[in-house]
Structure 1
Amino acid sequence: MQFKPRTIASAVASAMMLMALTAHAKDQIIAEQVSVSGILPDRLESVPGAFSVIDEKELKESAPFSIREALTRTPGVHSVGEDSFGLGLNIGVRGMDPRRTSRTLLLEDGMPLFLAPYGDPSAHYSTPLERVQRIEIVKGSGQVLYGPQTVGGMINFVSRPLPANGLAGSVTATLGNNDFSGLHANVGYGGELGGVMLDVLQKKGDGIRKNHDFDVREYTLKGQLKISERQTIHAKLSQFIEDSHISETGLGTLEYAEDKFQAPTGKNDKFEQERNTFQLQHVFAINERSKLSTQFYRVSNKRASFRQINDPGGFDDAGNNSTGYSVIDRCSTAATEANAATCGGRWRPREYDYWGIEPRLDFSHNLFGIESDAVIGLRYHAEDIRRNQFRDASPLAQSQAWAEQFGTHREDIRIDTKAWSYYAQNTFHVGNWSLTPGVRVEDYEIRTDIVRADGEEQNNPESNLNNRQTVVLPGFGLAWNGIAKTTLFAGVHKGFAPPRPDRDINEGSGANTAVADKTKAEESTNWEMGLRSSYFKGVGFEATLFHTDFDEIVINNGAGTFINGGESKMSGLELAGRVDFGRIFDTAHNVYIMGSYTNLFTAKFARSSPNAAVDGIVNGDRLPYAPRHLASLNVGYQHPFGIDARVGVDYVSSQEPDSFARVLPPVDAALSGLSGTIPSYTLVNASLRYKPQGSKVSFFLSGHNLANKEYLATRVDGMAAGRTRQILGGVTYAF
């Protein structure tokens, strides 16, 4: 009889759970309560790695415009803004390429948020801040409990809990320049047996570039039912709808010089998305020291984008020289608003469906004669991806329905994924020490069927396009708490990211067999050591040294393709702290200073590519979009009367573009907008919040990029400017 790896792993995991439950029957150690939605344990002093928590109080005080601003003050986190509201998140951690956050695992209450965590790890959605109670950012130890993207950090958005004592809710109205408006309403009822809560949100406004307006809506229903003294069911149903006019292609050099905020095809370009989510959790408190939680999730996401410009500044991948001006590629005419109205383009409708089920056991024990906290779990996850593309030069093709019926069906790719994940972690508490070994096993298969490519039906042997792998990912961390309110920590873990499929797959030659340039899976070894402390009254600080050895890093190779970049290294220092003078001098007038700084002193390719003249991968060259310095400094004032005001600056040092853009022919390099350093920039921000004592009403005002600095944000698909001054104010009534 032949045993498959997943069969063996399932048996081992089941045996471990059974053994743990048996041990509990004899053990009377009381365990810490573990959150059903957080990824950090309650005993934060024992966490052997770097993490940050942005709580609800901080989110209210700073009034961030989007997720990007909320994360700015987190050391080690780099967020690139290419659209006004962060609808397409670009977050990189410790030197990882931030493009679409593909190497930073995004979660909501422990559930993955990507379009498809294995088959297409792109972030076109994140939990709206209005629904967030806190944001957890984990960069070190503990990542073996989550996956599959474990090469970088993890960000978990913990949603607001249900009311616990009767009826409660809030209404918030927001207005700002750039035609921004927002309305958020939340109402719920809760008691001993559970409760229910409804959340409604709409935000809209103008984007960074002209004609780039956006409109997003979200409806969320959340419920909880206590079915017995030991069992509780949590459920959440959510629908997100986006209707945006965003040109995914940037500008050529000449276009950017003439008007960096222009978007000649912006009136016609579209990004439409409908995301439906269902999450169900059953929590069984076995006894006072153990809990078995089972999570089920299902996500259905339909997204369709329409664009008329394929290459910035006239650049294309056929070797033709750029003109510096974009061309409507279906009509081969200059990209102007007048020409755009008479031309078609290409639609990219895609459907992503995935679901998963994950039982997890959290318990405390002294099975080895040592007080311990343990986690054992497994997850089954399945994905179904359908990617299509339709093109036509007729202006009627601006309608998706017309393009699908009468246009050229250029691409039809179907990707199915099945993945089993198993993990176990134990924290031994020995005196002032906490030692945490853990392991994760990823056993997955990605099956790709290219039905159509470049408009031609394909005859491809499916076995050539599949990826099948079993990966063992160990981790170990330790923490020492021998000094009051201080933790020294160190850790190492193995990171892993599945191979990434190309965005566009071309037809083959001869037998008309499609070419699927399969990338290899990325693997990393992540080291860190540091400390965090609040030993001194009114002072909190943290410092972390980190180093990552990367193998087969995946990078953008232009024209929508990805390749392995071989070995790379990232090393750096993270610092963060806050000083509250009100606490130090025991006064109600609290002046505070808070800041963070990241020095990414190493972020380089560690091996030259055999094809370096084309892909630009040269040993020692800096990795793309990995700024050496990130800094944030804020000064604020708080008073019990309800005032909280702050002003601050955020600094990002210069960045290098994608490696392929560094070896473009001279004319393309000069005019396409893809090549050249992204200069450093500094932004000034401020916020003011006032909540009168005893009042149910609060007021807030915030400003971002108050100096109205014009700066280059990215060159990924051509030159794209960052957002100019954004001011917004609003009022909240809570009951």
Structure 2
Amino acid sequence: MIKKPMMGMAVLILTMPAFAAEQAGIKAQENTAATAGEEQVVTEKVKVTSILPDRLEALPGSFTVVDEKELESRRPFSTTEALNSVPGIHIVGENAFGLGINIGMRGLDPRRSARTLLMEDGVPLFLSPYADPSAHYTTPLDRVQRIEVVKGAGQTLYGPQTVGGMINFVTRPVPKEFQASVTGIIGNNNFSGGHVNIGTGGDWGGIMLDAVNRKGDGIRKNHDFEINEFTLKGQLNLDDRNTLIAKVGYYEENSSVSETGLGAVEYAEDKYQAPTGKNDSFNYERKSLQLQHIFKINEKAKLSTQFYYVDNQRASFRQINEPGSLGGRSAIERCPAGTNAVAATAANAEGCGGRWRPREFEYWGFEPRLDVSHSLFGVESDAVIGFRYHREDSQRNQYRGSDPAIQDLGYAKANGDHREDLRIDVKSLAYYAQNTFYLGNWTLTPGLRVEDYEKNINVVRAEGVAQGFQDSNKETVWLPGLGASWNGIANTTVFAGIHRGFAPPRPDRDINFDDLSGQNAISRTKAEKSTNTEIGIRSAYFKGSSFEATLFNIDFDEIVIQESAGRFINGGKSQHTGIELAGRIDFGKVYDTSHNFYVMASYTNVFTAKFKKDTDETASGNRLPYSPRDIATVNFGYSHPVGIDARIGVDYVSQQYVDPENSRIQSLNGEEGMIPSYTLLNASVTYKPVGSKATFFVSGHNLADKEYLISRVDGMVAGRSRQVFGGIRYDF
């Protein structure tokens, strides 16, 4: 494992005067149609944690902001509900409450959000951004001030995942005076939770503490879970030109959420059963540190350096390897006395063993960046120049055994069959530069990002045998981008952009464990590279209304697909083309009345999502897996200055294929066949009496209690049944 950086080194890095400023102290944003959720977006001074630029009207690409007002009025149940109205996004909610979230953009496979760059305050959230971009953690909404979604050419400054889009969870800033709040919520399915926020501040800076707890039953029986998170954030204003910001976080999840689905027969009997759920487990611990030094050179130039460190440790235990292997029913394969293929029941599970997969992921890096306004070329411009040094170290182990005692991880490590020890380290240097030219009503934004990375693989143990096999690979990738926007009509922006997308190959997928001694030991999946283009318009020209429309196209050179369980290959060329629409009308603003009835809707039509030319020609022309053609959300609401906001709406997702062959007939193991379309009914009510410090809210998901299928990745998985919760927030 990489040696943890010493604190003295971190402080030295943060105070280097030659480093550049990212979005520190960005000036107040001008009125613009930032999203379809409001007529005009007038936000407070953008913090250093934002990935959006100062002048939103100049952004040469599609984006959406789910702001604090929307989060507070809607009270989304999880990240899934917070993002499901954003056009272009498809979320597969196979776990409850946003655990292990699966987000796909513009027809891309949503599995573990691997093709969507998830960030908190500009720092990646994955287990390992290059080696294993899996999202087992997303920022709890209690700490979020707003969510920024960027899908177009504005991705040049960030990486490494840029084939789909970016989502940045912007956390609440430290207060400038004493403030505190307590939130309590309770709902069906034994759900309960709480959030405590307390902080104080002044001209010197501020400090703030967040504590979050959530627990309840999962989607399936015996899938109970509990999460806890503690975050300490501070800011120190050294003088008028220098600011230090620090954030330390600790998160833990303990759940019985199984990573396997059901066979076809089991699913037909009871969609929500989990035969081994009482013994299966997923334990996750995340420690994070983020430090920033911001130096204001003058009114037109700022310097910022960011240092981050993340330590992820996860361990999962499962007793079922192949769901539905017994004629549509699942089997437990590791049981005492040499028995094999024992029916997966709660009783049998108690007397059998299983498989532990403990994994450790550690990454850290630092990023200096310069933001400067200039007229070097005789044209008013905003420039960004920077680089990021990034290191990763991960270790993947696996222990198996038939002894029931193996259900304890400590026993498994001491007495189990040690099947796998795979170690991966990654070194990366990313350089980027971008300049926005302001040419009257026009803006032109060329940019370039260069990803220079090296991955090293050390197979210490595989299939229970010591190996000592090692391999390394280096690559330099050039990722240009160009965008333009036109603002010749009031409160309206027409934009167009093109950029090169990139997703690095995952080293763990490159190992052929069946042939470590031969020439085929490394399969060497190529990096995914794409050409992304879009053209669109966003406008709040008419009083009380706003809308956006974007036509997009993504051409992949070498898309990576799952050929079979645990085996990934480059699937050749593919194409994603579609249109995104969103809009909102506030009749209270249209008719100048305090009674505001509003309608807001979004629609995504990915009319092309196909293999253009796959590696063996068997899937050419077929539709890509987990890429529904139509996704729509419609909400009808009412709000009034007395403090009430109520809404009711529906979410629709059309049918999907789940494999490159576009199988229509359901297999007994549940992994083949269609996913039918589904429509869900949701509602929420929020009430904050005028002058009161208390806010009351009730929110409901899938109110019609519709049973629906959402995934076949590892067997059949049902979506969440009816979930209703209510709560009170009190501000001190």
TM range (shorter): over 0.9
Equivalent-residue separation in structure 1 for 2:49 and 2:468 (angstroms): 45
Q: What secondary structure, in the 3-state scheme, does the structure 2 residue paired with 1:85 have?
A: helix
Return the offset for 1:34. 5.8
Amino acid at match of 2:230: Y
1:627 and 2:631 matched:
no
Cα-to-partner distance string for 1:249-288 (whole Å, 9 max, x where unaligned):
1001011001111100000000000000000000001101
Residue 384 of structure 1 pairs with residue 381 of structure 2: no
- What is the aligned partner in structure 1 of residue 680 from structure 2? 683
Deviations 1:636-685 (A, max 9, x none): 0000000000000000000100226849xx8xx52010000100000000
* Residue 441 of structure 2: aligned partner: 432
Separation of aligned partners in 1, 2:518 and 2:507: 20
Deviation at 1:508, TM superposition (A): 3.9
Distance in 1 of aligned mates of 2:522 and 2:152: 34
The 3 A distance-change label for structure 1 pair 566 and 513 is closer
* Deviation for aligned residue 1:557: 2.1
| Unaligned stretches of 5+ residues in structure 2 | 1-16, 22-26, 31-44
Residue 328 of structure 1 pairs with residue 329 of structure 2 = no
Q: Give the counterpart of 2:484 among 478, 484, 488.
A: 478
1:343-364 alpha-carbon deviations (Å, 9 max, x no partner): 0100000000000100011110
Give the 3 Å change call, closer, same or farther, for CA 173–370 of structure 1 in structure 2: same
- TM superposition shift of 1:86: 1.8
**Equivalents in 2 of 1:30, 1:137: separation in Å?**
20
Out of 360, 377, 394, the position equivalent to 2:403 is 394
Aligned equivalents of 2:729, 2:450: Cα separation in 1 = 46
Q: 1:253 aligns with which of 248, 254, 264?
A: 264
* Pairing partner for 1:719 from 687, 699, 716: 716
Say if 1:134 and 1:157, in contact at 8 Å, map to a contact too. yes
Cα distance in 1 for partners of 2:705, 2:530 equals 40
- Counterpart of 1:658 in structure 2 is 659
Distance in 2, matches of 1:248 and 1:660, equals 24
Between stretches 41-50 and 485-494, larger displacement belongs to 41-50
Match of 1:639 in 2: 640
Select 2:372's aligned residue among 363, 384, 394: 363
Pairing of 1:120-159 with structure 2 (within 5 A) = 120-159=132-171
Deviation for aligned residue 1:35: 3.1
Count, aligned residues: 692
Aligned mates of 1:730, 1:455 — CA distance in 2: 51
Is this contact kept in 2: 1:48–1:479, CA < 8 A? yes
Could you report, residue by residue, the CA deviation over 1:593-640 in whole angstroms, capped at 9, with x for unpaired residues? 000000000000011332x6xxxx511100000000000000000000
- Partner of 1:550 in structure 2? 556
Distance in 2 between the 1:244 and 1:514 partners?
38
Instruction: Give the alignment's TM-score, normalised by structure 2.
Output: 0.92
Distance (Å, rounded) in 1 between the aligned partners of 2:515 and 2:185 = 56
Q: Distance in 2 between matches of 1:180 and 1:561?
A: 37
Change (3 A) 1:640 1:279: same
* Paired residue secondary structure (2:180): strand
C-alpha distance in structure 1 between counterparts of 2:548 and 2:513, whole Å: 52
Matched residue of 2:535: which SS? strand
What are the residue-to-residue correspondences of 1:54-93 with 2, within 5 Å?
A: 54-93=66-105
Pairs within 5 Å for 1:15-94: 35-94=47-106
Say if 1:137 and 1:153, in contact at 8 Å, map to a contact too.
yes
| Paired residue type of 1:533 | S
Name the SS of the counterpart of 1:606 in structure 2: strand
Q: Is the 8 A contact 2:323 2:329 kept in 1?
A: yes
Change in Cα spacing, 1:510 to 1:262, as seen in structure 2 (3 Å) is closer
> Hey, what's the Cα distance between the residues in 1 that align with 2:78 and 2:369?
32
Q: Map residues 528-547 of structure 1 onto 2, 5 A cutoff.
A: 528-547=534-553
CA-to-aligned-CA distance 1:4-60 (integer Å, 9 cap, x gap) = xxxxxxxxxxxxx98999xxxxxxx99997631000012100001000000011011
1:703 maps to 2:707: no
Query: For residues 456-605 of structure 1, what are the structure 2 equivalents within 5 Å?
Result: 456-460=465-469, 462=470, 465-502=471-508, 505=511, 507-509=513-515, 511=517, 515-605=521-611
Contact 1:504-1:560 within 8 A present in 2 as well: no
The 1:272–1:63 alpha-carbon spacing in structure 2 relative to 1, beyond 3 Å, is same
Query: Which structure 1 segments of 5+ residues have no match?
Result: 1-16, 22-28, 315-321
Change (3 A) 1:30 1:509: closer
In structure 1, distance between residues paired with 2:130 and 2:231: 26
> Which residue identity does 1:718 align to in structure 2?
G
Compared CA separation, residues 290 and 619, structure 1 to 2 (3 A): same
1:138·1:153 contact (CA, 8 Å) conserved in 2? yes
Judged with a 3 Å threshold, the aligned counterparts in structure 2 of structure 1 residues 713 and 365 are, in CA distance, closer, same or farther, namely same
> Which letter maps to 1:340?
A
8 Å contact kept, 2:132–2:506: yes
Letter in 1 for 2:649: G
* Matches of 1:294 and 1:145, distance apart in 2: 15
Q: Distance in 1 between matches of 2:292 and 2:515?
A: 50
C-alpha distance after superposition, 1:195-225 (max 9, x if no partner) = 1000001000001110000100000000000
Relative to 1, partners in 2 of residues 1:662 and 1:467: Cα closer, same or farther, differing over 3 Å? farther
